[in-house]
Amino acid sequence: MGKKMLNHEEQRKLLDLLKSASEQRLMEEILSEFFSNADLRLFNICYSLSLLLQDKRQLSSSERLVAFAILHQSYSSQKPSANPFISFLVNAACDDKAEKFERAFIIHLLGSGSSNNSKEIVKLSAADYIKSFDPSSHAFPQREQLQQQYCDKVHPEPYTSTFKIAAIRNVLSDPDVPFGCDANSPEFNSQLGGKPKLGSGDRDEAVNGLLANMSVGGLSPCLIRPIPPMFPVDERELVWLNPDNNHGLQWDHGMCADASRGTAVRDLIAKALKGPLAPPLQEHVLGELANDPKLVYHCGLTPRKLPELVENNPVIAVEVLTKLINSPEIAEYFTVLVNMDMSLHSMEVVNRLTTAVELPKEFVRMYIINCISSCENIKDRYMQNRLVRLVCVFLQSLIRNRIIDVKELFIEVQAFCIEFPGIREAAGLFRLLKTIESSS
């Protein structure tokens, strides 16, 4: 619903005003009574009146005069150009089809703003004014002249859209009279007391209705605004479901489960670096390491500490290195193992490792060469003897178990045997070499 122009109070006042105009009352009196209502929205009332005035039949002559007077007087305290209806008034004054007395009346009104003495015309009643009107005594100025006079300053209009500017009166006259009859003939005016005739109607009722239904907007051209279409749903937008792999979650029971076990082993390993562990403790460490393959990474061992572990607890060292065989640090452990001082224990560790896992060939070769040079460099005869015997046994074991290929180290090992002819194990090793050489 469009916004109604007038509220009930305003409609009632306006109707009273128009009714009193038909009576023999002075216009001045009517106007001052009307303007005494302070809470009226003058613009809305004037706009409604201007709409009613556009249809010349709608209001009686005296009503029209009062209406024009209101349009003018509502804004008479300001300059004529500030009156929003000034162009409407000027146009009405220049309308050749309008009654002469009406045009003269408007011109008179317009002139009254500048000269106070010409207010006398409102001191008549509307009917008297019409009666006493003498067309010969009035000259009607040109439209341009009036426009120049009263619409002198172009007012910056408040912003309105083109549609609003283009809007016209939205009232269409649709006389409901029998076909072929002239709607303007007085026969259709409603007669008091008479039986309502087909096509007759009450003018006041129509004015009432118009005032009640007048809305702010007029009739203007209208643009179609199509509603955008729904974006098409393609196959992919609807979610198609396929059975999933039912991957359940697997709980890692070792994770964070028993931190104390780790700490116990860590403590034992720390002890094992300083001296041999008692057999039950050693068994305990081995058991723990076997139960939890990841424990080895948390036992606190580093490559630098390896020689101490090897010297004090070779069995544990073997187990730890076996577990670490696939870890990236194993190479570092091997480097440390190769470079540490030769001893019974280190040799035992390497020997055991060779049977447990596959050691890199290069590592084994380096170790053997290290062993041989260690034997040669020892000054203490007794210790040298002991070490040479050990190395010989170690080598024999490696050869018998096919851990090393003798051909690669043949010269080094042969030279080693020849260097220590007095040692029984060296002679045995030499014999072993000879038999391998002859068999191949």
Partner 1 sequence: MQQSINLIAKSASIPCSSLVTDVSNSDFAVNASENPLSDDPLDEMFSILDIGGQNLSRIAGIASANEAPRTIVSRSISNVDLKLKLQFCKVRFLLLTRNLKQAKREVKHAINVGNGRDSAMALFLKAQLEYDRGNHRKAIKLLMASSNQTEAGIASMFNNNLGCIYYQLRKYHTSAVFFSKALNNCSSLQKDKPLHLLTFSQDKSLLMIYNCGLQYLACGKPILAACCFQKASLVFHKRPLFWLRLAECCLMALERGLIKASQALSDRAEVRVNVIGKGKWRQLVIEDVISNRLVDFVGKVDLVFGSDGQPNLSLPLARQCLYNAWHLLNCSELNNLKSGLPASLEENESSEVVSWKTSNQKNLPSIDSKASTLLVGLGQVNSNGNAREQKGGSNQGIIQNSISYYEEICRKGNQMIKQALLADLAYVELELGNPLKALSAATSLLGIPDCSRIYVFLGHVYAAEALCSLNKPKEAAVHLSIYLSGDSNAELPFGQEDFEQWRVENTVDCEELNEESVTAKNPPEDWHNLMFLKPEEARGTLYANLAAMSAMLGEFERAYHFVTQALSLVPNSPEATVTAIYVDLMLGKSQEALAKLKQCSRIRFLPCSLQLNKSS
- Site residues for partner 1, 301-360, by CB under 8 A, read 322, 325-326, 356-357
Closer Cβ to partner 1, 44 or 208, answer by number: 208
Closer Cβ to partner 1, 204 or 267, answer by number: 204
Interface with partner 1 includes 16 (CB under 8 A)? yes
Q: x/- binding map, residues 259-298, to partner 1, per CB under 8 A?
A: -------------------------------x--x-----
Interface residue with partner 1, options 156, 232, 279, 421 (CB under 8 A): 232
Contact 15, 212 (CB under 8 A): no
d(CA 9, CA 414): 132
d(CA 333, CA 92): 113
CA distances from 188 to 85, 176, 181, 204, 209 (A): 33, 10, 10, 14, 19
d(CA 326, CA 319): 13
Q: How long, in residues, is the chain?
A: 440
Interface with partner 1 includes 43 (CB under 8 A)? no
Closer Cβ to partner 1, 120 or 329, answer by number: 329
Contact 432, 396 (CB under 8 A): yes
d(CA 338, CA 368): 9
Structure tokens at 375: 């034997």
* Closest C-alpha to 344, from 323, 374, 379, 319: 374
**How many CB atoms are closer than 10 A to CB 330?**
18
Structure tokens at 421: 């002819």
Nearest distance in Å: CB 317, partner 1: 16
Chain positions 151 to 170 lying near partner 1, rule: CB under 8 A, are: 161-163, 166, 168, 170
Interface with partner 1 includes 253 (CB under 8 A)? no
Closer Cβ to partner 1, 141 or 175, answer by number: 175
Nearest distance in Å: CB 53, partner 1: 14
Interface residue with partner 1, options 98, 171, 264, 366 (CB under 8 A): 171
d(CA 201, CA 114): 43
Nearest distance in Å: CB 24, partner 1: 20
Nearest distance in Å: CB 357, partner 1: 8
Interface with partner 1 includes 230 (CB under 8 A)? yes
Nearest distance in Å: CB 108, partner 1: 30
Contact 334, 363 (CB under 8 A): yes
Task: State which H helix or E strand residue 106 sits in.
Answer: helix 100-112
Closer Cβ to partner 1, 176 or 341, answer by number: 176
Interface with partner 1 includes 135 (CB under 8 A)? no
Nearest distance in Å: CB 292, partner 1: 11
Map tokens 């020849």 to a residue. Answer: 418
Q: CA-based angle 341:344:345, to the nearest 5?
A: 80
Nearest distance in Å: CB 293, partner 1: 7
Interface residue with partner 1, options 38, 139, 154, 172 (CB under 8 A): 172
Nearest distance in Å: CB 397, partner 1: 15
Amino acid, res. 426: A
Interface with partner 1 includes 209 (CB under 8 A)? yes
